[in-house]
């Protein structure tokens, strides 16, 4: 499982500071994809367990969530890494372009973002989006967290 980028992010999971890993090998080929460098599974470098655990240790108490941008195509590895995050008291999130992922992955997640990128419909901050941000503990859609506040003055 190769990752292209590691970032600390604040927007993708509202209210959380996330350790974000962008995993390469996405096969969805959404038209208008902003991250085509994620299509080739050979891009980036392997996310080694040793390095991953070091990052979890390093950011424990600062970051609160581990976020994978893709990676569901490495099912067993992703489950293992999400489980390790949980064991270290991190919440977990997956951004996928699929409509859903196997139950064994869902079981390891606090949140999931589902749905392909469709330029005309936009992302989670667009009320017309096809994408869903789901809080899995209650199985409810929380897209409202991404909508910009309306100004009425």
The residues binding ligand SF4 (CB under 6 A) are 26, 28-30, 33, 35, 38, 97, 116-117
Angular region, 122: left φ>0, alpha ψ -120 to 50, beta rest = left
Q: How far is the CB of 89 from ligand SF4 (least distance, A)?
A: 28
Cβ of 69: how many Cβ atoms within 10 Å?
A: 24
Distant-in-sequence, close-in-space partners of 25: CB < 8 Å, separation ≥ 6: 2, 38, 39, 40, 41, 70, 73, 74
Asked whether 130 and 147 are in contact (CB, 8 A), the reply is: no
Question: How remote is the C-alpha of 92 from its chain's centroid?
Answer: 8
Quick one: 14 or 32, whose CB is closer to ligand SF4?
32
Q: How far is the CB of 110 from ligand SF4 (least distance, A)?
A: 20
Q: How far is the CB of 50 from ligand SF4 (least distance, A)?
A: 27
CA nearest to 2, candidates 36, 44, 40: 44
Nearest position to ligand SF4, beta carbon: 97
Beta bridge partners, 127, equal none
Quick one: 27 or 57, whose CB is closer to ligand SF4?
27
Quick one: 5 or 64, whose CB is closer to ligand SF4?
5
Quick one: 35 or 100, whose CB is closer to ligand SF4?
35
Q: How far is the CB of 51 from ligand SF4 (least distance, A)?
A: 23
Quick one: 56 or 112, whose CB is closer to ligand SF4?
112
Q: How far is the CB of 117 from ligand SF4 (least distance, A)?
A: 4
């Amino acid at each position: 499982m190769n990752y292209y980028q590691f970032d600390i992010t604040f927007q993708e999971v509202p209210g959380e500071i996330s350790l974000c890993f962008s995993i390469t090998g996405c096969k969805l080929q959404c038209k208008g994809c902003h991250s085509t460098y994620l299509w080739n599974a050979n891009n980036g470098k392997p996310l080694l367990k040793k390095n991953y655990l070091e990052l979890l240790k390093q950011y424990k108490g600062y970051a609160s969530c581990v976020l994978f941008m893709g990676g569901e195509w490495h099912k067993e590895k992703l489950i293992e890494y999400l489980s390790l995050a949980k064991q270290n008291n991190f919440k977990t999130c997956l951004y996928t372009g699929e409509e859903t992922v196997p139950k064994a992955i869902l079981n390891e997640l606090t949140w999931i973002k589902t749905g392909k990128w469709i330029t005309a419909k936009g992302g989670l901050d667009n009320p017309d989006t096809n994408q869903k941000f789901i809080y899995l503990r209650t199985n409810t859609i929380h897209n409202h967290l991404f909508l910009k506040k309306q100004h009425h003055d």
